[in-house]
Amino acid sequence: MSDLSYASFMVRLWREPEAARGRETAWQGELESVQTGQTWRFQGMDSLLRLLVAQLAGSEHHTSDKEKSS
């Protein structure tokens, strides 16, 4: 993640057609970084949250390093 004080993401969510026939299926989706265009696919909301946490944790390291050097 680049050295920014914010991050923007586009989240696309869908369910496969089996969900409409009564089968329990998890949400599936794609997370896209607006800044870099990088995308990640996931299944389930827990996976989405893990992806977001990982991306934001990476940007915190850059921010912390910058703040220390000021």
Domain assignment present for 51 = yes
Q: Output the pLDDT for position 6.
A: 87
**Which residue range is the domain that position 43 belongs to?**
9-69
Domain assignment present for 59 = yes
Domain assignment present for 52 = yes
Domain assignment present for 4 = no
What 3-state DSSP class applies to 43? Answer: strand
Q: Output the pLDDT for position 26.
A: 78
Edge to edge, the sheet with strand 28-33 lists: 9-14, 28-33, 39-43
Which residue positions in the chain have pLDDT lower than 50? Answer: 1, 62-70
Domain assignment present for 31 = yes
Q: Output the pLDDT for position 12.
A: 98
